[in-house]
Every structure is written in C-alpha cells, then in structure tokens.
Amino acid sequence: MKTKIFTIVFLISLFSFSQNNSTLKTGDIIFQSMDCGPLCDAINQVTKGYKGNDFSHLGMVYIKNDSVYVLEAAGEAVKITPLNVFRKYTDKPMFVGRLKTKYQKFIPDAIQFTLEQVGMPYDKAYLYDNGAYYCSELIYDAFLHAVGKPFFKLEPMTFKAPHSKEYFDVWEDYYTQLNMEIPEGQLGCNPGGISTSNKLKIIGKLY
C-alpha cells in the first residue's frame, strides 16, 4: 500500500512544476485560460485545447541569466514579461508544452525571431500577416521562420456560435468598433489548436 501511495505521489510531482520553475526550459510554450469575459467565452466555445481544456492565451519561455521570462503578444505589443507577472493573468493552472526532441533544434532561431518582434503592435484585428501579432500568431511565425516552412497549422477562423449561422454578439460589437468586417473564414491560429499539435507534448501544469 505504501509503495502504491508513493508511486501516485511521485507521478503527480512529475506532472506539476515546483515554485522555483527549475523544470522550465527556453522554448517551452505556456498555455493559459484567461478570464476576459464574453470575448474569452466566445473563443472557448469555438476552439478546444489539450484534453478539452480552454486556452485563450499563450507565450514562449525565455530564460536569461537564470531569470524566467515569457515572450508574448498581449496588451498593446509584443513584449518580454517576467514569469511571475505572466502567472497573474489567471488563477487557473497553466499547461506547459515542450517541442518533441527532434524539433528542439529550431528553438534558438524561433526565440531570436520573437525577440526581434518585441515592440511590434498587438493584432487587435486578428488578421494573419498584417504587420501586427496576436499571441498564437507570434508563435506560429516564429517557428515558420525557424523551420523555413509551416510548422504549426493555420485553420479557417469562425466567429459564429456553434451550430449557428449567427455571429456572437461580442464579436459583432468588437469589429463594429474597429470599423471592419468580421474576418469569418480567414486563416488563423489559436492557443487551443497549438496545444493539440503533434509537434509538442504537454509535460505538466504550472501553478
């Protein structure tokens, strides 16, 4: 019985990260579920992540001089955010994805590309390749650049409620304020889709 309990505790410890973040590596991708109200709710209804989890944001780990940062597109621009600040975006456990071994050779170039984008504006229109970045678009382009061809997938985006021909009210209001048409069907990417990629493995949770 003691052996069984020890085994369970050991497995749990493997799948959870300690507070000193010693298991995180540069190039890891952190997925989180942010609470941004109706907008996040709409995103969650049409995108599904790893094992059905809802993810509305992601960032890539960057470790420099023993300090842990997250490279992300959020707020107004692409930026370098200390991990302890990134943690505060949500009170839910975050999931950590790591590229499979054969793909890890692409991480240095992906990191360098992302660092060069710091200061680029946030893509509030969610349009691919328009001179601005939303969170998953930044990671998509980082590995597109590093690999030299598409690495993660672009998929047609939808802003309509499931099993409906009607747009979510929140998206209609959002794009009205931007004075533009809803980009239904345009190619894009999202945190949930990247979390299910066969190019990476979810290795644990971060609290």
The whole-number average pLDDT for the span 26-52 is 92
Tokens of 48: 């599904």
Has residue 22 got a pLDDT over 50?
yes
DSSP 8-state assignment for residue 168? P
The whole-number average pLDDT for the span 70-74 is 98
The whole-number average pLDDT for the span 156-174 is 95
The whole-number average pLDDT for the span 64-90 is 97
Has residue 72 got a pLDDT over 70?
yes
Share the mean pLDDT of the chain: 91
What pLDDT shows up at residue 17? 54
Q: Is 181 in contact with 126 (CB distance < 8 Å)?
A: no
CB neighbourhood size of 150 (10 A): 10
Confidence of residue 34 (pLDDT cuts 50, 70, 90): confident
Residue whose tokens read 């997925």: 31
CA distance 97 to 184: 29
204, burial (CB in 10 Å: exposed 0-12, middle 13-18, buried 19+): buried
Has residue 193 got a pLDDT over 90?
yes
Q: Whole-prediction pTM value?
A: 0.90
Has residue 9 got a pLDDT over 90?
no
CA distance 133 to 158: 18
Buried-state track 103-130, b at ≥16 Cβ within 10 A, e below 16 = beebbeebbebbeebeeeebbeebbbee
Has residue 33 got a pLDDT over 80?
yes
The whole-number average pLDDT for the span 112-133 is 98
Top-confidence residue, 16 or 164? 164
Q: Which domains does the chain have, with CATH numbers?
A: 24-206 (3.90.1720.10)
CA distance 62 to 81: 9
Rounded percentage of the chain residues whose pLDDT exceeds 90? 84
